[in-house]
Amino acid sequence: MDRVIFRYFPGDSLIHRFDPRIKLPGCALFCYAALQPGPRNLAITAGALLAAFLFARIPLKTLLIDFLRFVPLLTALFLAVFFSSDDGGPLVPAALAAGRFALLILAGNLLIQTTALSRISAAVRWFLTPLPRRLAGRLGTMIGLSVGLIPLFFQELEESRDALKARGLRARKQPLRWAVKLLTPLLARVFLRTEEMAEAMEGRCYSDERSSLPLKAQGIDWLFGLAVILLVLAICQT
């Protein structure tokens, strides 16, 4: 099945249609809520995020499989907190830290999965309206493209990894050699792809001052924003 994590997943759900000018700060506020201490807060934010994924009709099984690639990172975080914690039993804080980090990854992923790049760029440009138009346009495109390049990076990573595997070099057997051999072609390929993309953009008359996708906030968008604010307030007051 096609990978879904950190990739736009076209759809027409409510989550997809929310105005990105409310969705972006909403996501930031949600992340703030997810970082608040305590297992109860973690459970509430995890529940809210799961509901959002279900609303957005993201295939959870595929997402879960894709998410497994973050397990080494989460394990490293867990172990780091586990061995550095000195208050009470270190198991709970370590698990909470890993859980919070997982939530941050998933919240960012949900934003990317349900918001087209052009809408993110348009929202960023809107937030940067006080800046000169050309600078705002450039920053909007840069942020949008950075988000868009994440799946490109993963794709190149997978191809480079498979190429190494096909030639008998596996991470488990020779991790250091594997990492060195992976990094060089990976970076070369990513730079080549980005250069080709830049050339193609120029070929399509790229300009910093572009027409922006029209955005329109409706009642439901404000309700969404209000719901996130209430969630954050509820969590912060406990």
Partner 1 sequence: MKIIETQGLGHRFPDGTLALNGVNLVVEKGEFTILAGRNGSGKTVLMKHLKGLLTPSSGRVLIHGADLRHLPPEYRTTVGLVFQNPDSQFVGQTVMEDLRFGPENLRLPEEEIQRRVQRALDITSLRDKADRRPHTLSGGEKRRLAVAGVLALDPEVLVLDEPFSGLDLEGTKDVLRGILALHDLGHTILLITHEVEKVLAHAGRLVIMEHGRVVADDHPSALLQTAPRFGIHIPKKADLSDMTWIE
Chain positions contacting partner 1, by CB under 8 A:
2, 7-8, 10, 116-118, 145, 148, 193, 196-197, 199-207, 209-214
**In the complex, least distance from residue 63 CB atom to partner 1, rounded to whole angstroms:** 16
User: For residue 119, which amino acid is it?
Assistant: R
Closest-CA residue to 95 (of 112, 82, 110, 83): 82
**In the complex, least distance from residue 116 CB atom to partner 1, rounded to whole angstroms:** 5
Of 97 and 112, the one with the shorter C-beta distance to partner 1 is 112
Of 12 and 86, the one with the shorter C-beta distance to partner 1 is 12
**In the complex, least distance from residue 163 CB atom to partner 1, rounded to whole angstroms:** 17
Instruction: Give the end-to-end CA distance of the chain in Å, rounded to a whole number.
Output: 42
Token output for 167: 């030639």
DSSP single-letter state for residue 13: S
**In the complex, least distance from residue 108 CB atom to partner 1, rounded to whole angstroms:** 16
Phi, psi (degrees; rounded to nearest 5) at 6 = 55, 35
Alpha helices, DSSP H only, in the chain? 14-17, 20-34, 39-55, 60-67, 71-84, 91-114, 117-127, 133-166, 175-203, 219-237
Of 21 and 125, the one with the shorter C-beta distance to partner 1 is 125
Cα–Cα distance for residue pair 136/122, rounded to 1 Å: 10
**In the complex, least distance from residue 234 CB atom to partner 1, rounded to whole angstroms:** 34
Of 50 and 201, the one with the shorter C-beta distance to partner 1 is 201
Of 8 and 53, the one with the shorter C-beta distance to partner 1 is 8
- The answer to whether residues 213 and 115 touch, using CB atoms and an 8 Å cutoff, is no
